[in-house]
Every structure is written in structure tokens, then in C-alpha cells.
Amino acid sequence: MFFNLIPKEFDFFDLFEKQVDYAVKAAVYFKELTLKGSVDEEAIAKIGDIEHQGDEATHDIINQLNKTFITPFDREDIHALAKELDDIIDMINTIVSRLRVYKITRIDKNLIEFASVIEESVRAVACTVKWMHNMKNSKSISESCVEINRLENVGDSMRDKMLAELFENEKDPIAIIKWKEIYQDAETVLDICEDVAHVVSSIMVKQA
């Protein structure tokens, strides 16, 4: 005789809180690294660890989703949210890897500035995700989403200003290749945070 042990209902909020905490960890550590000014083997190992743990948190959500019949919000929104939060961590990991691969020995003030905005945005993402637990937080959530969108616009202007200066002042094309990619990747983290805000906004409207 067989029993179906697959849970029919699951709230997912704890799993998302765990996942988004790794995103905050990655953003905070990235900020620390930029302030330290360079990336060594230890830093690569540490960000790699965070990324790996984030991966496992993501897989937990997807596996749970595939086994669950009744979800607190639309399946595709759960999937999208898990994927976007995973992408935040991956992108931060990618930037740190590039700093090593490109042998950047002195992180510039621009990247420090970007790392601050990234930390701010990822912290706002974490609040938003945690507040989703309770629909009474809908006002805070929507304010937080507005803030994440604002930070994405800030990032756009920062990247454009930094690229303009880079092409204006840097005469070494190889340095341009490296920093152009790093600034664009940094801005991409903020784009992904904005994508999270869009998913969360959609979920809120559907539940209203």
C-alpha cells in the first residue's frame, strides 16, 4: 500500500527568506571587497561559497514548487522570484570573478560607489520579500518597490557617467574593455533587483 507523501500545500515564505539572506550576504561582502580594494583567492572562495549556498536555496524552492499543488501565489511568480533572486547572487559572483580574471589590483572609487547602491537595493529587495509574508505590509512593500526602481535609475545614470569618463580619460583600450564590462555588470545587478520588484508588484496586485 502506498501513501502519497507529497505535501499539497506549502507557504514558501521561509524558503524565500533564506534565499534572499544569501543575496544580502553577497551584496554586503561585495561592498567589503571593494572597500578593501582588491580580490584575493580567499575572497573568491568566500563569494563562491555564498553563491553555492544560494544555489541550494534556489533548488529547494524549485523542488518544493514542483512537489506542491497549492501555492500561496501563482506558480510562475514563485518560479520567477526564485530565479531573479538567484540571478542577483550569480551576477555579484560574476563581477568578483572578473576582478580576479582581469587582474584588477586596484578597485576604483566608481565600483565602491556602485557596491553601495547595490547593497542598498538588495537590502530593499530583502525587506520586500520578507514583508510578503503578511498582506498587511502591502503599503511598505509598494514603497520599497518604488525605492528599488529609483535605485535602478540611479544606477543607469552612474553607469552612463562612468562610461563617458572612461572613454574620455582612459587611453588604454584593454583597460576600457575590462572596466566597461565591470560597470555594465554592476548596473545589471540593479536591473535584476528591479525585475524582482516587478514580480512582487504583480503578486501584490493579484492578491488585492
Judged by CB under 8 A, the stretch of 10-18, 30-38, 131-139, 161-169 that binds a copy of itself is: 161-169
Is residue 53 within the footprint of a copy of itself (CB under 8 A)? no
135's CB contacts (< 8 A; 6+ apart) are 207
Pick 24 or 82: Cβ nearer a copy of itself:
82
Nearer to a copy of itself, 28 or 142 (CB): 142
Separation between Cα atoms, residue 185 and residue 196, nearest integer Å: 17
Residue 67 binds a copy of itself, judged by CB under 8 A:
yes
Give the residue among 8, 11, 10 at the shortest CA–CA distance from 133: 11
To the nearest whole angstrom, how small is the minimum distance from the Cβ of residue 45 to a copy of itself? 14
Is residue 52 within the footprint of a copy of itself (CB under 8 A)? no
Q: Is 146 in the site for a copy of itself (CB under 8 A)?
A: no
188 makes contact with a copy of itself (CB under 8 A): no
Interface residues toward a copy of itself, by CB under 8 A: 62-63, 66-67, 76, 97, 100-103, 160, 163-164, 167-168, 173-174, 176-178, 180, 198, 202, 205-206, 208
